[in-house]
Amino acid sequence: MKGKDIGEQPELITHLIKEKAPFPNNAQLPLLVYKGAFSSAENLDPGVIEKAFLKNGWKNSWRNGLYPFHHYHSTAHEVLGIYSGSVRVEFGGEDGLMIVAGAGDVLVLPAGLAHKNIWSSHDFRVVGAYPAGTSWDMNYGKDGERPETDENIARVPLPENDPVYGDEGKLLQHWNS
Protein backbone atom coordinates (compact mmCIF):
# COMPACT_ATOMS: atom_id res chain seq x y z
CA MET A 1 0.00 0.00 0.00
CA LYS A 2 1.62 3.20 -1.17
CA GLY A 3 0.21 6.60 -1.90
CA LYS A 4 0.42 10.19 -0.82
CA ASP A 5 0.32 9.28 2.87
CA ILE A 6 2.45 6.13 2.87
CA GLY A 7 5.87 6.62 1.40
CA GLU A 8 8.28 4.23 -0.22
CA GLN A 9 9.67 1.85 2.33
CA PRO A 10 12.27 3.75 4.33
CA GLU A 11 15.44 2.20 5.59
CA LEU A 12 14.54 -0.15 8.40
CA ILE A 13 16.52 0.15 11.61
CA THR A 14 16.58 -2.94 13.82
CA HIS A 15 17.66 -3.44 17.42
CA LEU A 16 17.78 -6.81 19.16
CA ILE A 17 17.25 -6.20 22.87
CA LYS A 18 18.07 -9.09 25.14
CA GLU A 19 16.71 -9.84 28.60
CA LYS A 20 17.59 -7.34 31.27
CA ALA A 21 16.04 -8.22 34.61
CA PRO A 22 13.34 -7.70 35.53
CA PHE A 23 12.21 -7.40 31.90
CA PRO A 24 12.18 -10.36 29.48
CA ASN A 25 12.55 -8.16 26.38
CA ASN A 26 12.93 -10.35 23.29
CA ALA A 27 16.21 -11.97 22.27
CA GLN A 28 14.61 -13.56 19.19
CA LEU A 29 12.73 -10.70 17.50
CA PRO A 30 14.21 -7.23 17.00
CA LEU A 31 12.57 -3.88 17.56
CA LEU A 32 11.84 -2.43 14.11
CA VAL A 33 12.00 1.31 13.43
CA TYR A 34 10.63 2.76 10.19
CA LYS A 35 11.70 6.41 9.99
CA GLY A 36 9.27 8.34 7.79
CA ALA A 37 6.91 5.47 6.95
CA PHE A 38 4.06 7.98 6.69
CA SER A 39 4.10 11.51 5.34
CA SER A 40 5.26 13.69 8.21
CA ALA A 41 3.06 16.56 7.15
CA GLU A 42 2.18 18.89 10.00
CA ASN A 43 -1.36 17.50 10.18
CA LEU A 44 -0.81 13.78 9.61
CA ASP A 45 -4.23 12.14 9.81
CA PRO A 46 -4.26 9.37 12.44
CA GLY A 47 -7.04 7.68 10.46
CA VAL A 48 -4.58 7.02 7.64
CA ILE A 49 -2.31 5.14 10.02
CA GLU A 50 -5.21 3.20 11.54
CA LYS A 51 -6.47 2.20 8.08
CA ALA A 52 -3.04 0.97 7.02
CA PHE A 53 -2.65 -1.07 10.21
CA LEU A 54 -6.16 -2.52 9.85
CA LYS A 55 -5.67 -3.36 6.17
CA ASN A 56 -2.57 -5.33 7.15
CA GLY A 57 -4.23 -7.25 9.97
CA TRP A 58 -3.17 -5.12 12.95
CA LYS A 59 -6.33 -4.39 14.94
CA ASN A 60 -7.67 -3.10 18.26
CA SER A 61 -6.14 0.29 17.52
CA TRP A 62 -6.09 3.12 20.01
CA ARG A 63 -4.99 6.77 20.02
CA ASN A 64 -3.23 8.47 22.88
CA GLY A 65 0.30 8.90 24.19
CA LEU A 66 2.79 6.47 25.67
CA TYR A 67 3.06 5.59 29.36
CA PRO A 68 5.87 7.29 31.33
CA PHE A 69 6.85 4.05 33.08
CA HIS A 70 8.44 0.80 31.93
CA HIS A 71 5.89 -1.77 30.83
CA TYR A 72 5.61 -4.62 28.36
CA HIS A 73 3.04 -6.91 26.79
CA SER A 74 3.51 -10.67 27.03
CA THR A 75 0.53 -11.71 24.91
CA ALA A 76 0.90 -9.52 21.81
CA HIS A 77 3.32 -7.64 19.61
CA GLU A 78 2.58 -3.90 19.30
CA VAL A 79 2.92 -1.29 16.58
CA LEU A 80 3.17 2.44 17.30
CA GLY A 81 2.54 4.96 14.51
CA ILE A 82 3.33 8.54 15.49
CA TYR A 83 1.03 11.12 13.94
CA SER A 84 1.95 14.24 15.88
CA GLY A 85 4.93 15.61 17.77
CA SER A 86 7.93 13.64 18.93
CA VAL A 87 8.93 11.28 21.70
CA ARG A 88 12.04 9.77 23.28
CA VAL A 89 11.39 6.14 24.19
CA GLU A 90 13.60 3.95 26.34
CA PHE A 91 13.54 0.26 25.39
CA GLY A 92 14.71 -2.69 27.46
CA GLY A 93 14.55 -1.21 30.96
CA GLU A 94 16.65 1.26 32.94
CA ASP A 95 19.68 2.54 31.00
CA GLY A 96 18.25 0.90 27.89
CA LEU A 97 18.24 1.87 24.24
CA MET A 98 16.94 5.40 23.55
CA ILE A 99 15.06 6.11 20.33
CA VAL A 100 13.74 9.50 19.26
CA ALA A 101 10.74 9.22 16.97
CA GLY A 102 8.50 11.80 15.36
CA ALA A 103 5.46 12.24 13.16
CA GLY A 104 5.46 9.68 10.37
CA ASP A 105 7.67 7.15 12.16
CA VAL A 106 6.52 3.62 12.99
CA LEU A 107 7.92 1.37 15.73
CA VAL A 108 7.15 -2.35 15.86
CA LEU A 109 7.71 -3.90 19.28
CA PRO A 110 7.96 -7.65 19.76
CA ALA A 111 6.12 -9.17 22.70
CA GLY A 112 8.09 -8.80 25.93
CA LEU A 113 9.96 -5.62 25.00
CA ALA A 114 9.89 -3.10 27.85
CA HIS A 115 9.23 0.49 26.78
CA LYS A 116 8.82 3.85 28.49
CA ASN A 117 8.14 7.44 27.42
CA ILE A 118 11.14 9.39 28.71
CA TRP A 119 10.13 12.71 27.13
CA SER A 120 7.55 13.89 24.63
CA SER A 121 6.56 17.16 23.01
CA HIS A 122 3.30 18.73 24.11
CA ASP A 123 1.66 17.66 20.83
CA PHE A 124 2.88 14.04 20.85
CA ARG A 125 0.19 11.56 19.76
CA VAL A 126 0.40 7.95 18.62
CA VAL A 127 -1.78 5.22 17.16
CA GLY A 128 -1.15 1.76 18.55
CA ALA A 129 -2.41 -1.62 17.33
CA TYR A 130 -1.87 -5.38 17.69
CA PRO A 131 -1.87 -8.30 15.24
CA ALA A 132 -5.25 -9.90 14.64
CA GLY A 133 -6.05 -12.74 16.99
CA THR A 134 -4.03 -11.33 19.89
CA SER A 135 -4.96 -9.19 22.85
CA TRP A 136 -2.53 -7.25 24.96
CA ASP A 137 -1.83 -7.43 28.65
CA MET A 138 0.12 -5.06 30.91
CA ASN A 139 3.22 -6.06 32.82
CA TYR A 140 5.60 -3.85 34.78
CA GLY A 141 8.61 -5.98 35.70
CA LYS A 142 7.19 -6.77 39.14
CA ASP A 143 8.01 -9.83 41.23
CA GLY A 144 5.82 -12.78 40.33
CA GLU A 145 5.14 -11.86 36.69
CA ARG A 146 7.68 -14.31 35.40
CA PRO A 147 7.93 -17.15 34.41
CA GLU A 148 4.28 -16.93 33.28
CA THR A 149 5.00 -13.93 31.04
CA ASP A 150 7.99 -15.75 29.50
CA GLU A 151 5.69 -18.64 28.61
CA ASN A 152 3.15 -16.20 27.14
CA ILE A 153 5.81 -14.52 24.99
CA ALA A 154 6.96 -17.89 23.62
CA ARG A 155 3.37 -18.61 22.48
CA VAL A 156 2.71 -15.29 20.69
CA PRO A 157 2.40 -16.06 16.97
CA LEU A 158 4.28 -14.10 14.35
CA PRO A 159 2.07 -11.55 12.58
CA GLU A 160 0.89 -12.44 9.08
CA ASN A 161 1.86 -9.02 7.67
CA ASP A 162 4.01 -5.99 8.21
CA PRO A 163 1.68 -3.38 9.80
CA VAL A 164 2.45 -0.71 7.17
CA TYR A 165 3.59 -2.51 4.02
CA GLY A 166 1.66 -5.79 4.26
CA ASP A 167 3.25 -8.80 2.64
CA GLU A 168 5.83 -6.55 0.93
CA GLY A 169 7.15 -5.29 4.26
CA LYS A 170 10.41 -6.18 5.92
CA LEU A 171 8.89 -7.36 9.21
CA LEU A 172 8.47 -10.93 8.00
CA GLN A 173 12.02 -10.99 6.66
CA HIS A 174 13.46 -9.85 9.98
CA TRP A 175 11.15 -11.78 12.28
CA ASN A 176 11.19 -15.08 10.38
CA SER A 177 14.93 -15.42 10.12
C-alpha dist (Å) from residue 139 to 17, 112, 147, 157, 168: 17, 9, 12, 19, 32
Q: Cα–Cα distance between 99 and 155 in angstroms, integer?
A: 27
The pLDDT value recorded for residue 44 is: 86
Q: To the nearest whole percent, how much of the chain has pLDDT over 90?
A: 86
Q: Cα–Cα distance between 92 and 85 in angstroms, integer?
A: 23
- Model confidence at 117: pLDDT above 90: yes
DSSP three-state, residue 171: helix
The pLDDT value recorded for residue 39 is: 79
Mean pLDDT over the full length of the chain: 92
Bigger pLDDT: 10 or 105? Answer: 105
Q: Cα–Cα distance between 164 and 31 in angstroms, integer?
A: 15
Phi and psi dihedrals of 153, rounded to 5? -60, -40
- Model confidence at 61: pLDDT above 50: yes
Phi and psi dihedrals of 118, rounded to 5? -90, -35
What is the mean pLDDT of the segment spanning 121-129? 96
Bigger pLDDT: 72 or 5? Answer: 72
What is the mean pLDDT of the segment spanning 85-92? 97
Q: Cα–Cα distance between 167 and 98 in angstroms, integer?
A: 29
What is the mean pLDDT of the segment spanning 56-74? 96
Chain centroid to CA 124 = 16
What are the structural domains, with CATH classification, of the chain?
12-167 (2.60.120.10)
The pLDDT value recorded for residue 10 is: 77
- Model confidence at 131: pLDDT above 90: yes
Picking from 102, 125, 99, the residue whose alpha carbon sits closest to that of residue 47 is 125
DSSP string, 36-104: TSB---TT--HHHHHHHHHHTTEEEEEEE---SS-BB-SS--EEEEEEESEEEEEESSTT-EEEEEETT
The pLDDT value recorded for residue 158 is: 96
Whether the predicted model's global pTM rises above the 0.85 cut: yes
CB 77 within 8 A of CB 108: yes
What is the mean pLDDT of the segment spanning 5-23? 85
